[in-house]
Amino acid sequence: MGRYVIRRLLQVIPVLLGATLLIFFVVFALPGDPIASLSGDKRTPPHIAAELTARYHLDDPFLVQYGHYLAGLLRGDFGETFSGVRVSEIVAGRFQISLNLALTALVMEAVIGVGLGFYAALRRGRAQDTLVLAATLLLISVPTLVTGFVLQLLLGVELRRSTGIDFFPISGAFDGWRSYLLPGFVLAGTSIAYLTRLTRTTLAEVLRADYVRTAVAKGLPRRRIVGRHALRNALVPVVTYLGADLGTLMGSAVITETIFNLPGLGQELFRSIYERQQPVVVGIVTLLVLVYVLANLVVDLLYAVLDPRIRYE
């Protein structure tokens, strides 16, 4: 187990280095002089420009700049914007919103996806199974862009108009956890469908496994066979998928955030790209890469807990 953890930790390092380098490279290639754009239409005074250039190592070669950035990251320092605001300050509140959104989506995904997958697997080949499969096909196919607006109109606007109650607030993050219900579902849509399919196939496969037949031969009640023997095995890939999905959900929330006016990381990144705030852009993407990598790390460790065959490798 110890060796497994260490090996897995070591594998994280090149991925982090590579991803940050790649991001840095793309951002570095962004056209335009960031300092010139600071003062809008006016020219930045030369002495200020010189000072900024020195502070951000803008004259250094690309790799040296990257080195400075990495050194900062290791100290937990995400750097400053060109106007002197700490990136970590800008990002912190945004991160919270994105995390809330992603976690809401993850919970919905887990509950609906696993539930539907279970339901379908136990009724494999029957009408309900086909119906669930058709629903997943629809969920996978209809883009977030479309589900977002359609659900906003139906469940947000029309429902409020007809009942007078605002079940699903549809704009901003002002209504506490309820603000995240509808956007969370929209964000989770595709994942729900994939998880449903994954749960269904995995469970159906597990139910055909020899050890389930053994459990039947042991004379166990059906509830115990499905709920203990099959479930425990089927959960391994399902939990793996769920864990890895947290990073993906956070990273793919831009469109949902835009539709529902949630000021999360995606929106901030979007704004920073327009305003050429390279330090913020790099900071946000690095943060999301970190979340993705850490989520996957946790999943792999969880995997070892769930499947003893890995643990003792």
Partner 1 sequence: MSSAAPAKGAPPNTRRARHARSSRPPGRGARTARPAGLWRDAWHDLRRRPLFAVSAVLIAVILVMAAAPGLFTSVDPYDAAGCVLGEARGGPSAAHWFGTDNQGCDTYARTVYGARNSVLVGLSTTVLTALAGGLLGLVAGFRGGWLDAVLSRVTEVFFAIPSVLGALLILSVFRTGTVWTVTLALAVLAWPMTFRIMRASVITARGQDYVVAARGLGASAGRLMFRHILPNAIAPLIVVSTINLGVFIAAEAGLSFLGLGVQSPDITWGLMIADARARFHEAAGPLLFPAGLLSVTVLAFIMLGDAVRDALDPKLR
Partner 2 sequence: MTGITGGTPSVLPAWEGGAAPRREPLLAVEDLHVEFATRQGVVQAVNGVDYALEAGQTLAVLGESGSGKSVTAQAIMGILDTPPARVTRGRILFRGTDLLGLSEENRARVRGRRIAMIFQDALSALNPVFTVGWQIGEMFRVHQGASRREAERRAVELMDRVRIPGAARRLHDYPHQFSGGMRQRIMIAMAVALEPELLIADEPTTALDVTVQAQIMELLAEIQRESGMGMILITHDLGVVADAADRIAVMYGGRIVEHALVHDAYRAPAHPYTRGLLDSIPRVDRKGRELHAITGQPPNLLDLPPGCSFAPRCPYRQGDCAVEAPPLHRIGPTRGSACHYWREVLDGSHG
| Three-state secondary structure call for residue 57 | coil
Query: Token pair of 12, please?
Result: 């994280």
Out of 100, 136, 233, 278, name the contact with partner 2 by CB under 8 A: 233
Q: How many residues bind partner 2 (CB under 8 A)?
A: 23
Query: Token pair of 110, please?
Result: 């887990």
Work out whether 221 is an interface residue with partner 2 (CB under 8 A): yes
Work out whether 304 is an interface residue with partner 2 (CB under 8 A): no
Shorter beta-carbon distance to partner 1: residue 22 or 111: 22
Out of 106, 229, 241, 260, name the contact with partner 2 by CB under 8 A: 229
At CA 24, angle to CA 19 and CA 28, rounded to 5? 155
Helix (H) or strand (E) holding 77: none
Work out whether 307 is an interface residue with partner 2 (CB under 8 A): yes
- Give contact residues for partner 1 (rule: CB under 8 A): 14-16, 18-19, 22-23, 26-27, 29-31, 137-138, 140-146, 149-150, 153, 157, 201, 210, 213, 247-248, 250-252, 254-255, 258, 266, 269-270, 273, 281, 284-285, 288-289, 292-293
CA dihedral 138, 201, 300, 114 (to 10 degrees): 60
Nearest approach, Cβ of residue 150 and partner 1 (Å):
7
205 with 120: CB under 8 angstroms?
no
Helices (H) and strands (E) counted in the chain, each on its own, are: 17, 0
- Distance set, CA 183 to CA 24, 200, 241 (Å): 31, 25, 21
- Distance set, CA 235 to CA 114, 137, 189, 219, 292 (Å): 9, 22, 20, 23, 21
The rounded distance, in Å, linking the Cα atoms of 246 and 291 is 8
Q: How many CA atoms lie within 13 A of 273 on its CB side?
A: 11
Out of 26, 30, 211, 298, name the contact with partner 2 by CB under 8 A: 211
Work out whether 312 is an interface residue with partner 2 (CB under 8 A): yes
Nearest approach, Cβ of residue 118 and partner 2 (Å):
18
> DSSP assignment of 296-310, as one string?
HHHHHHHHHHH-HHH
Shorter beta-carbon distance to partner 1: residue 149 or 177: 149
**Residue 258 interacting partner from partner 1, partner 2, none (CB closer than 5 to 8 Å by kind):** partner 1
Nearest approach, Cβ of residue 220 and partner 2 (Å):
6
Work out whether 308 is an interface residue with partner 2 (CB under 8 A): yes
Nearest approach, Cβ of residue 307 and partner 2 (Å):
6
**Residue 14 interacting partner from partner 1, partner 2, none (CB closer than 5 to 8 Å by kind):** partner 1
Partner residues linked to 80 by β-bridges? 86
Nearest approach, Cβ of residue 230 and partner 1 (Å):
17
| Three-state secondary structure call for residue 229 | helix
Nearest approach, Cβ of residue 26 and partner 1 (Å):
5
**Residue 247 interacting partner from partner 2, partner 1, none (CB closer than 5 to 8 Å by kind):** partner 1
The residue ranges that bind partner 2 (CB under 8 A) are 208-211, 213-221, 224, 229, 232-233, 236, 306-309, 312
